[in-house]
Amino acid sequence: MATVVKALTLDKLRERRYNKMELILFWKEGLMMKKIRIGNSEIIASNIALGCFRMHTLTLKEAGVLIHTALEQGIDFFDHADKYGEGSCEEIFAKAANMTPDMRERIFIQSKCGIRPTSFDFSKEHILDAVDGSLKRLKTEYLDVLLLHRPDALVEPEEVAEAFTLLHSSGKVRYFGVSNQNPMQIELLNKYLNQKLIINQLQFGIMNTGMIDAGLNVNMQNSRSVDHDGSILDYCRLKDITIQAWSPFQYGFFDGVYLDNDQFPELNRQISRLSDEKGVPNTAIVAAWIARHPAKMQTIAGTTKPSRLKDLCQASSIELTRQEWYDIYLSAGNLLP
């Protein structure tokens, strides 16, 4: 049965043609990445995406191996930004992926704009220029999703709306979203936008749980009760906005990875225990922990190592119980009220 299922999976991968029973069978056999709907759009993509922010550190051959490993594992969503490698990541990706029309139809491409060397810029002119630059580097006629990267204090939402309308009507961008924005910033944009925002990319992982902590410590006076993000998790769920979890393996703000780190013995013991019990690598436990949340987040995997990517993708073959999820949360040093 497994051989038949695998052949069917590979045969249909290019066309993304699956019925419900086939999807269930693939997932049970562990042969296909779990899929989620992105926002309320028509995009149904892998719940793990490949983040390409370090692709400029790879040779063309290495980048090609990484991309095709992602495709073999069922990843069909790729995250970019014009800031990554100052555009070189997008160029390398397009060359390494051999961006033919057939390849373009197999994948979803997302890019971000708005970061300049010493400022942020959500002006109409910059957004339009940035998208044209990304399209040229990626060798494609359209982006599936465009995100606004980091909030611009001088944003004029009317200009953003004009830019988005032009990009959408011209076919250059299908859907739009934001990154690192709170509910009121999104509401301000939505007042003027004709397109619904379908994504908010936020730092989230076992060691970055602020949006979880605040929701658990309501009506408390401890440090975890401080809401830094305006209930962004609940807001995104209410508005059908998919949260993309960036840097899920980092602690702090790029302070380092917590897996196999002696600074976090209890966390690593708990993850190792579950890793042994479920027969998957520790990276898969982390991705499964994120996927277990009912918000249906999409994990952005920024690894450049094909072997590590394969390990992480084994998360699709398991599902953590409620108690296992809380056990990991508590082992990271969190307390319940």
Confidence (pLDDT) at 120? 98
- Whether 201 is covered by a domain: the verdict is yes
- Whether 11 is covered by a domain: the verdict is no
Q: Which domain holds residue 150?
A: 33-331
What's the Rg (C-alpha) of the chain? 20
Confidence (pLDDT) at 32? 72
Confidence (pLDDT) at 311? 97
- Whether 251 is covered by a domain: the verdict is yes
- Whether 22 is covered by a domain: the verdict is no
Report the C-alpha gap between 149 and 146 in whole angstroms. 9
- Whether 17 is covered by a domain: the verdict is no
Q: What is the mean pLDDT of residues 70-76?
A: 96
The HSE-up count of residue 268 (CA atoms within 13 Å, CB side) is: 10
- Whether 159 is covered by a domain: the verdict is yes
Q: What is the pLDDT of residues 36-54, one digit of tens each?
A: 999 999 999 999 999 999 9
Report the C-alpha gap between 116 and 121 in whole angstroms. 7
Q: What is the pLDDT of residues 89-119, one digit of tens each?
A: 999 999 999 999 999 999 999 999 999 999 9
Q: How confident is the model at residue 28 (pLDDT cuts 50, 70, 90)?
A: very low
- Whether 283 is covered by a domain: the verdict is yes
The phi, psi pair for 231, rounded to 5°, reads 55, 45
Q: What is the pLDDT of residues 303-331, one digit of tens each?
A: 999 999 999 999 999 999 999 999 999 99
By CB atoms closer than 10 A (0-12, 13-18, 19+), residue 143 is buried
DSSP assignment of 224-243 equals GG--SSSSHHHHHHHTT-EE
Q: Which of 70, 152, 140, 71 minimizes the C-alpha distance to 110? A: 140
Confidence (pLDDT) at 337? 94
Among 12-26, 140-154, 193-207, whose mean pLDDT is lowest? 12-26
Residue 141 has pLDDT above 90, yes or no: yes
Helices (H), 73-156: 88-97, 101-106, 124-138
SS (H, E, C) 279-302: CCCHHHHHHHHHHHCCCCCEEEEC
Confidence (pLDDT) at 244? 98
Q: What is the pLDDT of residues 208-249, one digit of tens each?
A: 999 999 999 999 999 999 999 999 999 999 999 999 999 999
- Whether 236 is covered by a domain: the verdict is yes
Residue 27 has pLDDT above 50, yes or no: no
Confidence (pLDDT) at 236? 98
Helices (H), the chain: 2-13, 20-29, 60-72, 88-97, 101-106, 124-138, 157-169, 183-190, 210-216, 232-238, 265-278, 282-292, 306-313, 322-331
Confidence (pLDDT) at 283? 98
CATH number at residue 283: 3.20.20.100
Domain count, the chain: 1
Residue 132 has pLDDT above 80, yes or no: yes
Q: How confident is the model at residue 294 (pLDDT cuts 50, 70, 90)?
A: very high
